[in-house]
Structures are given as structure tokens and as C-alpha cells.
Structure 1
Amino acid sequence: MTAPIRVLVCDDQMLVRTGLVTIIDAQPDLEVAGECGDGQAAVDLAARLRPDVVVMDVRMPVLDGIRATALLAGAGVPSPAKVLVVTTFNLDEYVYEALRAGASGFLLKDAPPAQLLHGIRTVAAGAALLAPEVTRQLVGRYASRIRPADGDAPEVSLTPRELEVLRLVADGRSNSEIAATLVISPETVKTFVSRILAKLGLRDRVQAVVYAFRHGLVT
């Protein structure tokens, strides 16, 4: 049997946290590895428990969920965690900041349990939870913040075709749409995307979109 996906639940509201724990533990393929009520505790527990996914609230005492996510999954973290941000606040700013901090996905707490469980499984599998077009809209709205200054863009070690694929990913295209545009198979697109992520040290398509904007590859 496949080992269950181990989840760390972090939320400062005990009632909400208990509900999340109950929903997750009821699934045969999921297991709550630990729970806590603030971001610093999440960072400390994650280092000790090594969960597959951290379910993270945004507004919490001691250390908020955005800063905790950056410590767990941000750039330069040796063994980044996979973080699914779950919050009551449906603000673009929070979504953007969560993704920039390294989160792999974003859900609202009023989402049905099935969507939460799907989100955990999706993030655990290494995929991004947000649709690419939604990600592009959010990152594009804040592109001026994350683009480097003129002449400051780093060298990108991608082939011309890999750059084409990356630009199309950042444009919100699905694998099938990219395949149709470049007249290649969807399987070939998947290979290119995997190669791009590996070359650039990125975890998923969300990070690829952010990378493309930061390095001026998308206008």
C-alpha cells in the first residue's frame, strides 16, 4: 500500500483547525502529522515532522502565514515544503503574496471539503492548485513589483524552444493549447515543462509564471 500523505495543519482558530483535522484524518490516503496555531510553530513543527503538505492560514499570531510560508517554501530554502494556503480572506493581495512566498496553492475556507482534499492531493503530487490563467492574472497585476530593474535580468539557461514553452505557460496556456500552438504533442509539452522546472529549480507551474514575470520574459 502507498504511504498516506502526511499533512501539517496550521490555523489559530481551534474550531477551524479541529474541523480541518477531522476532514483530513477521515481519508484513507491522508494523515494529520501535526497541528498548531501560529506560523512560527508551523515552521518549527515542519522542520521536525517533515510533512508532505502544510495547510496554512494567513492571519495568525507570532508569525503570519505568508512569512511562515516564505520560511518553509521560499527561494533559497534547502528542502522547501509544499504549502497550501487556506484562508477566509479572498483578496488578490493575499493570493499574490502567498504565491510569491512559495505556496503551491490557495483556497478559501468556505470551499467544500472535497475541494480541500483535492487541493491537498494536488499539492502533494507537485502540481499547482490555481489554474494557470488565474495565476497569470494575479501575477500580471503585480508584475511591476517583481520585474527586475532594466539591465538587471539574470541569464536564463533555457533553449529557444524551452523559452517558448515557458512564455506560453506564463500566458495561461494549458499543455494541450501549447501543443497546438507549437505543433507538438501534449506529452512533449509535459517533457519540456518538467525540463524547465528542473533547470530553473522551480517546483511547479505557479513558480514558473512568477519566474517568467520576474525575469522579463513576459510583457
Structure 2
Amino acid sequence: MSPAADSAASKRQAELLKQEGNAFFKKDRISAAIDAYTGAIALCPKVAVYWTNRALCYKRRNEWVRAEEDCRTAIQLDSHSVKAHYMLGLALLNKDELAEGIKELEKSLELGRGAHPASYMVEEIWQELSKAKYIEWENLSSERVRQLHKLKEACKEALRNYNSLDNPPAYVPEEQLNELEEVFRNARKSDIPTEVQPAFDTAYFRALTGLI
């Protein structure tokens, strides 16, 4: 058999294995699906979809390290793979690498909106991205609260030092303390959203993603 014929036979066999893997996955036979996709990869390692399909199996089993490895390989083979960027983003979020995870989810959303803007996957990506962004906002908000508290204590200390020139040490007039508390209370309020948009509001989602 010639090399070309052998290559064609390998491609056909790899596709058959992929189809078997898909069938196993639909039946929730994840181990069998992984074996089938692994066989396809062994025959044709440069086909990105085989890697993303196996990564999806690892995602189903919460084996995020393996899912990340397969997604990175898939992206090397096809940098426009929506699924690879999406699952890589989820894997990174699972490792608490929030910034990098959000970056990958944003990339997958960008690619998905360009290729299939009305697909279910674009909405799924947006929902995961929304949750990640909210966690990021919460983390930043908590840090700002800590910084405001430190600043408030520093301001109190400055008031004590100022007032100690004419008053007993550590004495701060109540009026000044109340004014200071009001300033920082307003600062905290400004960091709280007045309205939380429902995560699954279809009209809102479509407006943000440019869907019709």
C-alpha cells in the first residue's frame, strides 16, 4: 500500500473512531469515548477536533488538568477553535486563574459570535463569562473595601494628630468622625450595583452579543 493510500486509510479509521466516541459520549460512556478519541488522535494527531472532543470528556469527569492539556494542543493546531478556548477558560477558572480564564472565555465568545452568533454555545459561553466577571468584580470590590478601611483609619489618625495640637491626645470631635463616616459610607455605596441583570435574560444577552 502506498503512503498516500495508507494516510487515507488512517484518516478514515480516525473518523470512524471519532464517530464511535461521539456515540459513546451521548450514552454517557465517557471512558469508552476517551478510548475512541485517543485512538483517533494516535492515527491523526494534527486534527484539532479529536483533542477538543477528548477534552470535553475530561471536562465531564472534572479532570481539568487533562482537559487543559488537550485544549492547549487543540489551540496550537487550530487557534480559531471556539470549544478549545472555551474549555481552556473553564479549566483555568477551576485553577482559580481568574484573569487568564476570563481572557480565554472572551476569546471563545469573540470567535463564536463571528462563526455562529445564534448558536446555543455562544449563550453558554456568555453565561460562564458573566459568572466569572461577577466573581472578578466581587474580588475587586472586597479589595477596595479593605483599602477604604485602611484609608479611613489613616484619616482618623490624621485627625487625632491635628486635634492634639489644641485638645487632649487621641481626641477627635464627634462631628468630624460623623462626617468622615459619611464620606466612606457613600464611597462603599458607589461600589454596589443598583440593579443586577438576570443572568439568563435572553433580550439582555442578545443585545450585548449583537444577536438579532
Q: TM-score, normalised by structure 2?
A: 0.30
Higher helix fraction (1 or 2): 2
Higher strand fraction (1 or 2): 1
**Greater Rg by CA:** 2
